[in-house]
Amino acid sequence: LSFLMKLPIYFFGDNHFSPNPHFSNHKKIQKMKEFFNLIEKNGGSIFIMGDLFDYYFEYKKNNPNYFDDVFNLFEKIKDRGIEIYFIAGNHDYWIGKKFRSHITQAFLRDQILTVGEKKIFVTHGDGLLSWDKGYRLLKSIIRNKIFIFIYSLLPKSIAFHIAKKVSYLRRDSNRIDKKNLEKIHNELINFARSKWIDNCDVVIMGHYHHSFYFEENNKELIILDDCSDKKFNYAKYDGESISIESL
């Protein structure tokens, strides 16, 4: 992104707001509201790094109103001058016009931000590990326009049931086995190094539902923890440095 984003920029993601009425999102909504109240006086921009929703599929018309509370918060914060940017995760790639109408700009691919003194590579983080081959194949299928069109023809109740099953199966994929933690971090560090070689200063991602920080030769890798009903994790970039914070 070469255009000027308003500073400071706040990064967060992995809220996993559920469309299922049996799972209350109330506490998560309250946490996000507290966060918005905290930042609105300073202005700036929000960059959501994917998996805002546990499942999101947008139809051309008659979309379910699962997430109106979230969209209403977006509208309020936008009215106060806060810009909202979004990069798709593995749970909420199928966004459309309705979603885009509530934010400033949405992206389906990784982005490089050139703002202030840093060049920041932003990715959700899914599919980066060497053993993610099966998932990378699945990802290429479900993001295919033909697949999306066929899926959109399914009755909404059936589509939602399928999505719940897939979401449940994928839920364990980002839980970290402590035995493999070092191996995972080493792979992500090597991924970050490949971006540092391309003159990026910071690589920031979510997806892994834990916090990790690595610095090498004044270059940074940041893995942000999720935004749960108990803790809202985020990073703040003021144009000079980036800090990891929580609410």
> Two tokens at 209?
């539902």
pLDDT at 57 exceeding the cut of 90: no
pLDDT of residue 205: 98
Closest CA to 223 of 197, 238, 244: 244
| Kind of pairing between the strands at 111-115 and 118-122 | antiparallel
Give me the residues paired with residue 103 across strands. none
Under 8 Å CB-to-CB from 204, ≥6 apart: which residues? 11, 49, 120, 121, 122, 123, 221, 222, 223, 224, 235, 242
Model confidence at 35: pLDDT above 90 = yes
Distance, first Cα to last Cα, the chain: 28
Average pLDDT on 219-244 reads 96
Strands (DSSP E) along the chain, which ranges? 9-12, 45-48, 83-87, 105-107, 111-115, 118-122, 202-205, 212-216, 219-223, 233-237, 242-246
CA atoms lying within 13 Å on the CB side of residue 57:
21
pTM: 0.91
State which H helix or E strand residue 151 sits in: helix 145-152
Contact at 8 Å (CB) between 139 and 126? yes
Residues 211 and 24: their CA atoms lie apart, in Å, by 25
Closest CA to 9 of 41, 38, 48: 48
pLDDT of res. 19: 82
Q: pLDDT tier at 135 (50, 70, 90 boundaries)?
A: confident
For residue 161, the surrounding DSSP H or E stretch is: helix 156-171
CA-based nearest residue to 112, from 185, 195, 190: 195
Predicted confidence at residue 121, as pLDDT, reads 97
Task: Considering only residues 130 and 177, tell me which one the structure prediction assigns the higher pLDDT.
Answer: 130
